[in-house]
Amino acid sequence: MGSLLRHWPRIVVTLLPLIFALLHAVGILRLGVLERLDNIIYDSRLMATMPKTLDDRIVIVDIDEKSLAEVGRWPWGRNKLSALTDELFDRQKIALLGFDVVFAEADESSGLKRLNELAQKELRDQAGFVDKLKQLQASLDYDAMFAKSLEKRPVVLGYYLTSDRDGRTSGVLPAPVMGKQTLQGRPITFTTWNGYGSNIAQLASAAPVAGHFNPIQEADGVVRSLPLIAEYKGQYYESLSLAMFRMLVGAPAVVPGFPRERFLGRSYQGLESIQLKLGNKTLAIPVDERVSSLVPFRGLGGPKGGSFRYVSAADLLSRAIPANELKDKIILVGTTAPGLQDLRVTPVSEIYPGVEAHANVISGLLDGKTLVKPDYAVGYDVVVLLLAGLVLAFALPLISATKAVILSVVVIAALGAFNLWLYLSYGLVLPLAGALTMVVTAFALNMSYGYFVESRSKRELANLFGTYVPPELVDEMVKDPDSYSMQATNRQMTVMFCDMRGFTKMSEQMEPIQLQSLLNGVFTRLTGLIRFNRGTIDKYMGDCVMAFWGAPVETPEHAHLAVKSAMEMANAVRGINDEHRAKGIPEIGIGIGVNTGNMCVGDMGSNIRRSYTVIGDAVNLGSRLEGLSKVYGVDIVVSESARKLAPDFGWQELDRVRVKGKDQAVAIFWPVAPANRIGAETEAELKAWASFLKAYRAQDWDQCDLLMLNLLRMNAKKYLYHLYSDRVASMRLLPFDLEWDGATNFETK
């Protein structure tokens, strides 16, 4: 939780793309770029997943350039269309015929109008002529001839709906498939029109089933869907493809398919599907909010597209197609001729025959494979955005750049894969652009914030602490730069003072540059050990180095690390002296004082020069302990407060001392070795020494002499034992002191 609070500004920044994506998803802030990107994703996916196989159930009779050249310019005389219809039904034995053309005006190509005028003007009174004229008219009435070819045959005529200011109408509309009362007052967003251009009454009466062939052209000019049902003056009319499909399955009634109750008991008010009642069964055709269906394009379209067979109308009229070759086929009559203006821009081609769009929809309905953007698309988008957005917002600020890249890629892949699976398995076209853009933008903002805002803080932090603090600690600090500052604070810490001895004498024998190089080399090795153990370098003072543990990064094991560093530094100096002896260079000594206590740490100094340092009585005591190392003949002196926090070492108590400026005596210790490396002999020696100190503080000098003889047998060269042997000899000359607390007073620094 603390980490989240520290990264809250970055989390808020990463949440911004989620907020905008949600506003777009629910329609409050429509972003055109996301709509275009969704279209691009849909088009690309459609192109990649098209079956590109032939559906031999459907054949397109093409009024192509060849037909216009051989038969004549369009519109053709209805006698030719009658012959075409008879050829298809009588000789080819087709199952169903649909026209993707409209017959909006009477056929005047036979000259009947002129013949009537002549007859009325010049031959009105000739006996018997009127009857002969009527017979001639009947033989030359091509509309009647075409109507007779259509009668009692499975034919679906086509017409178009219009929307203009005048609401012009022509021809006769078929019967609507639904009335307004069937919608139960729900606000369905059909495509709505105020005019139409339909077929003349004579043909509409002969073939009463008809469907509109209007496409839906999106804002980018691309046709992706067809309205299965459209509205005109409160009545609802089916499309050409739906009308043909209904005729194939027995002309069932059409009823609206309302969705079931949704989340929190609220119901979507649109249509979920249109339902065809097939006896006891119901066939549901999913539709989107406009009661339309996306065209399930099979291929690139046209005679060479490979999705449907194209047959030239001229070849049928000339009977170049063998009889029964189209038996039981579903026939759509349309055109690919550019001059007849039925070529559309679609996702799969910029020149796509409009008639083939209807063929694709019929094919999809027959296979039960329709593409639809469902009514719950908005809800799906909101849920996906929330899940992905919240995961990214709370995860990206907490992880490294590499892991952030991996997480973002995984989220994008998961979103894309799940969306594609729904598309391929269920024909669901669900939004994806908002989620993908949100992920990319969230990642970019997170990285930008990290680089321009947090990295600046981190760089400033590194500049502030880099010369004092080990790189490892700086790396740890920059993960949460707001938690660190130069501001002074009090905390329990451990301080170390390390003094190199022997450099004064060496300065008299060596050139300054040689001495500088030697001193720098020693400091480099000792400083490396301090930094390896997470210590902070405070300052260098001549041949002394000061360091502390516990700031700026809080380190619970600060005392343990300080003692460990001190022991490693002492060992390093012994190694350096081995090198010096080999080179004939004077040896150096070392004295280290370690103390733990409350200290004030922060940026201190003047306006001219400042440094990150520690001050306080505990610091002063650490300095005094370093000076006492010479007195007791050891290289490390550790206070009791530090010893208590470093139980992993074996300790030998040196004394209880009262340093200058302190009234309270403190116990001081020497770290013998890590506790797990102390042998039986050393352990026996430490026990004997503890007994000696007990006798010493009890002023039992005879017992002290006896115990000291034992200690000197164990370690005759140890300076500490000789020091106390001399002390016992001196104290023996003094009378027993009831007020003596066993501490040694030091009046000098």
If one counts every other C-beta atom within 10 angstroms of the C-beta of residue 652, the result is 18
The helix/strand count (H/E) of the chain reads as: 25, 29
Please give the Cα distance from 563 to 595 (Å, whole number).
10
pLDDT at residue number 728: 94
Whole-number Å distance between alpha carbons of 552 and 143? 98
Question: Is residue 13's pLDDT more than 70?
Answer: yes
Q: Find which of 30-44, 500-514, 574-588 is predicted with most confidence, using mean pLDDT.
A: 30-44
In CATH, which of 3.40.50.300, 3.10.20.30, 3.30.70.1230, 3.40.30.10 is domain 486-673?
A: 3.30.70.1230
Judge contact between 301 and 307, C-beta under 8 A: yes
In three-state form (DSSP H/G/I as H, E/B as E, the rest C), the secondary structure along 367-433 is HCCCEECCCCHHHHHHHHHHHHHHHHHHHHHHCCHHHHHHHHHHHHHHHHHHHHHHHHHHCECCCCH
Q: What is the pTM of this model?
A: 0.64
What are 460-519's pLDDT values in tens digits?
Answer: 655 655 555 555 556 655 555 555 555 678 999 999 999 988 877 777 777 888 888 888
pLDDT over 60 at 521, yes or no: yes
- Residues paired with 492 in a beta bridge: 598
The answer to whether 200 touches 105, Cβ cutoff 8 Å, is: yes
Short-list 17, 2, 4, CA closest to 434 = 17
Nearest to 431 by CA among 97, 41, 31: 41
Total residue count of the chain as it appears in this document: 749
Residue 700 has a pLDDT of 95
H or E element, residue 85: helix 78-86
pLDDT at 266 over 50: no
Is it the case that residue 133 has pLDDT exceeding 60?
Answer: no
Summarised one tens digit per residue, pLDDT across range 371-396 is 988 878 888 999 999 999 999 988 88
Least confident range of 113-127, 373-387, 651-665, 727-741:
113-127
Q: Decide if pLDDT at 78 tops 60.
A: yes
Strand ranges of the sheet holding 229-232, from the earlier edge strand across to the other edge: 178-179, 235-238, 229-232, 191-193
pLDDT 10s digits, 276-295: 988 788 899 999 989 999 99
CA distances from 364 to 98, 241, 453, 514, 720 (A): 17, 10, 54, 91, 100
Residue 265 confidence (pLDDT): 37
For 238-265, give one letter per residue: b (16+ CB within 10 A) or e.
bbbbbbbbbbbeeebebebbbeeeeeee
Kindly report, residue by residue over 415-424, the tens digit of the pLDDT: 999 999 999 9
Q: Structure tokens of 490?
A: 């009090």
Domain layout of the chain by residue ranges = 2-30+376-447, 58-255+269-367, 486-673, 679-739
* Strands 489-501 and 544-549, sheet pairing: antiparallel
Q: Sort 160 into a burial class: Cβ within 10 Å, 0-12 / 13-18 / 19+.
A: middle
- Specify whether the backbone of 91 is left (phi greater than 0), alpha (psi in -120 to 50) or beta: alpha
Q: How far apart are CA 489 and CA 599, in angstroms?
A: 8
Per-residue pLDDT at 136 exceeds 60 = no
Q: What are the pLDDT digits (tens) for 300-352? A: 999 999 999 999 999 999 999 999 999 999 999 999 999 888 999 999 999 99
Most confident of 100-109, 442-451, 672-681: 672-681
**CA atoms within 13 Å, Cβ hemisphere of 635:** 18
pLDDT tens column, 54-77: 999 999 999 999 999 999 999 999
- Tell which phi-psi region holds residue 301, choosing left (phi > 0), alpha (psi between -120 and 50) or beta: left
CA separation for the pair 264, 379 (Å, rounded)? 13
The Cα–Cα gap between 56 and 579 comes to 94
Please list, in sequence order, all residues whose beta carbon lies within 8 angstroms of the beta carbon of residue 597, skipping any fewer than 6 positions away: 492, 493, 616, 617, 618, 621, 639, 641
Q: Determine the Cα–Cα distance for residues 124 and 428; give it in Å rounded to an integer.
A: 69
Backbone angles phi, psi at 258, to 5 degrees: -85, 145
- Enter the DSSP assignment of 298: -
Other CB atoms within a 10 A radius of the CB of residue 401 amount to 13
Task: Report which of 731, 733, 691, 683 is spatially closest to residue 708, judged by C-alpha positions.
Answer: 691
Are the CB atoms for 17 and 445 separated by under 8 Å? yes
- DSSP-derived letter for residue 533 is T
| Residue 139 in this model has a pLDDT that exceeds 90 | no
User: For 446, left (φ over 0), alpha (ψ -120 to 50), or beta?
Assistant: alpha
Q: Which of 85, 70, 160 is nearest to 331 (CA)?
A: 85
CA 483 to chain centroid: 29
* pLDDT above 80 for 8: no
**What is the pLDDT at residue 447?**
84
- In the beta sheet, which residues pair with residue 656? 667, 743
What pLDDT is stored for residue 341 in this prediction? 86
The dihedral sign for the CA sequence 326, 331, 337, 343: negative
Going by C-alpha positions, the residue among 302, 295, 307 that lies closest to residue 51 is 307
Min mean pLDDT across 24-38, 464-478, 612-626 is at 464-478
In degrees rounded to 5, what are phi and psi of residue 549?
Answer: -125, 140
Share of the chain above pLDDT 90, in %: 64
The answer to whether residues 34 and 441 touch, using CB atoms and an 8 Å cutoff, is no
**pLDDT value at residue 479:** 57
pLDDT on residue 406 = 94
* Terminal alpha carbon distance of the chain: 48
In DSSP terms, which residues pair with 309 in a beta bridge? 59
- The CA-based diameter of the chain, rounded to the nearest angstrom, is 176
Average pLDDT for residues 354-374, to the nearest whole number? 93
* pLDDT band at residue 725 under the 50/70/90 scheme: very high
Beta strands in 258-302 (DSSP E): 273-278, 281-286, 292-294
Q: Which residue has the higher pLDDT, 102 or 462?
A: 102
Q: For residues 710-726, give the mean pLDDT.
A: 94
Looking at residues 593-619, what average pLDDT do you find? 85
Per the CB < 8 A criterion, the answer to whether 134 and 165 are in contact is: no
Reply yes or no on whether the pLDDT at 412 is more than 90.
Answer: yes
pLDDT of 401 higher than 50: yes
CA distance 381 to 396: 21
Residue 700 vs residue 278, higher pLDDT: 700
Look at residue 101 in the predicted model and tell me its pLDDT: 96
Q: Per mean pLDDT, which range of 113-127, 347-361, 532-546, 670-684 is the poorest?
A: 113-127
pLDDT at position 461, please? Answer: 57
Nearest-10 Cα torsion for 398, 401, 405, 407: -20
pLDDT over 70 (residue 454): no
Confidence at residue 113, expressed as pLDDT on a 0 to 100 scale: 52
Written as six digits, the tokens of 92 are 């080819």
- For 65, the token pair is 């350039």
Q: List the structure tokens of 574.
A: 């012994």
Q: What is the pLDDT of residue 375?
A: 78
Strands of 489-630, DSSP E: 489-501, 536-541, 544-549, 589-605, 610-615
DSSP assignment letter at 207: S
SS3 of 470-522? CHHHHHHHCCCHHHCCCCCEEEEEEEEEEEEECHHHHHHHCCHHHHHHHHHHH
pLDDT at residue 625, as a whole number: 95
Q: For residue 322, is the peptide bond before it cis, meaning its omega torsion is within 30 degrees of 0?
A: no
493, β-bridge pairs: 597
Residue 581's pLDDT is: 86
Tokens of 103: 């017959």
Q: What region does 496 belong to: left with phi over 0, alpha with psi -120 to 50, or beta?
A: beta
